[in-house]
Amino acid sequence: MPALPEGSIATRYWHRLEDDRIQCDVCPRRCKLHEGQRGLCFVRGRENDQVLLYTWGRSSGFCIDPIEKKPLNHFLPGTPVLSFGTAGCNLACKFCQNWDMSKSREMDTLMDQARPEELADAAHRLGCRSVAYTYNDPVIFLEYAIDVARACHAKDIKSVAVSAGYVCPEPRRDFFAHMDAANIDLKAFTERFYKKICGGELAPVLDTLLYLHHETDVWLEITNLLIPDENDSDEELEAMCAWLAQHLGPDVPIHFSAFHPDWKMRDKPHTPAATLTRARNIALQAGLRYPYTGNVHDEKGGSTFCHQCGALLIERDWYQLGHWGLDSKGRCGQCATPLPGIFEATPGTWGPRRQPVRLHAF
């Protein structure tokens, strides 16, 4: 067997078809590959009669972010998270906000080499409480993400997946077994949107939400990016929030965030702040306890309130924390109702800043 190309590893989520093509079984796209072909994500491909991952140990860059930027509002608030991604993606969203990385087919985008142990050491030395697999979807580089998560757990650093949840059951189970928290991007609540705008399907994403909430201990939050006239109607938001309340219960936080024109969708306006507030009100009416408005200045929509007594528990202005109303056990300081999530006795003090990092330069 010839040596594998640098940065590549053999993978196991694939099988051979009767016509001798090999099908990748990582995501519902199920790319069917001839020798030498890459999948749609471009980071997996067939070589030497097997499917390789070409981006093990390579990253498109590192940043320290506030955990609220992932966004996670109920997971170690105020703490710094070392964020990184690779290249490629298994969806083709026309509005992609990270398209320079997710659509990259140039492996030189992946200039930073990072072995899992180096990454865990860096996170530890930089004071990060967690590492986030983000910017592009980590399910396409799950073998690398799992190795990083293992190295991080050995140093008591947690792992956060930022994903669209478009993944098949077996790799999903293996990947999320190593994650402590996830933000799943629920892009819309119609198959039409997923098919026409993202080149994917809604049903597998809903399966991932059900799986995470009911069959794992992964702390789950959801993001819903609202695009004017595409996925922001009252009817669609009411249907989505009713489904979430019925199937996931009232305690999974949801972040309604604002679209800005990008990539192949530049003909739509920015999402008005009023749309985010409308979505938050619909979620509250549906019985969801922790709906947030995201990436806007909106202290009411960005803050956490006790669902029992209404007390302000965590004040936020964008990524800046203010008043802290939880006791040392993560309960409401006024009525002692527990707040769902992962909290420490006191909040972190990282603040709203974002700090790029060269992994080998400190």
Q: For residues 261-300, which are near ligand SF4 according to CB under 6 A? A: none
**Nearer to ligand SF4 (CB atom), residue 39 or residue 78:** 39
26 lies in the site for ligand SF4, by CB under 6 A: yes
Q: Would you count residue 120 as binding ligand SF4 (CB under 6 A)?
A: no
Segment 53-92, which members bind ligand SF4 (CB under 6 A)? 90
- Residue 39 or 71: the one with the smaller Cβ distance to ligand SF4 is 39
Considering beta carbons, is residue 28 or 340 the nearer one to ligand SF4? Answer: 28
Indicate whether 226 belongs to the interface with ligand SF4 (CB under 6 A): no
Contact pick of 12, 15, 30, 173 for ligand SF4 (by CB under 6 A): 30
Q: Which is nearer to ligand SF4, 41 or 122 (CB)?
A: 41
Question: Among residues 38 and 213, whose Cβ is nearest to ligand SF4?
Answer: 38
Is there binding between residue 34 and ligand SF4 (CB under 6 A)?
A: no
Q: Smallest distance from the beta carbon of 174 to ligand SF4, in angstroms? A: 13
CB of 76 to ligand SF4, least distance (A): 30
Helix/strand/coil (H/E/C) assignment for every residue in the chain: CCCCCCCCEECCCEEECCCCCEEECCCCCCCEECCCCECCCCCEEEECCEEEECCCCEECCEEEEEHHHCCCCCECCCCEEEEECCCCCCCCCCCCCCHHHHCCCCHHHCCEECCHHHHHHHHHHCCCCEEEECCCCHHHHHHHHHHHHHHHHCCCCEEEEEECCCCCHHHHHHHHCCCCEEEEECCCCCHHHHHHHHCCCCHHHHHHHHHHHHHCCCEEEEEEEECCCCCCCHHHHHHHHHHHHHHHCCCCCEEEEECCCECCECCCCCCCHHHHHHHHHHHHHCCCCCEEECCCCCHHHHCEECCCCCCEEEEEECCEEEEECECCCCEECCCCCECCCECCCCCCCCCCCCEEECCCCC
90-109: contacts with ligand SF4 (CB under 6 A): 90
Asked if 146 interacts with ligand SF4 (CB under 6 A), we say: no
Q: Does 342 bind ligand SF4 (CB under 6 A)?
A: no
Q: Which of 4, 9, 10, 40 binds ligand SF4 (CB under 6 A)?
A: 40
Residues that bind ligand SF4 (rule: CB under 6 A) add up to a total of 12
Q: Pick from 128, 140, 240, 314: which binds ligand SF4 (CB under 6 A)?
A: 140
**Which residues make up the interface to ligand SF4 (CB under 6 A)?**
24, 26-27, 29-31, 39-41, 44, 90, 140
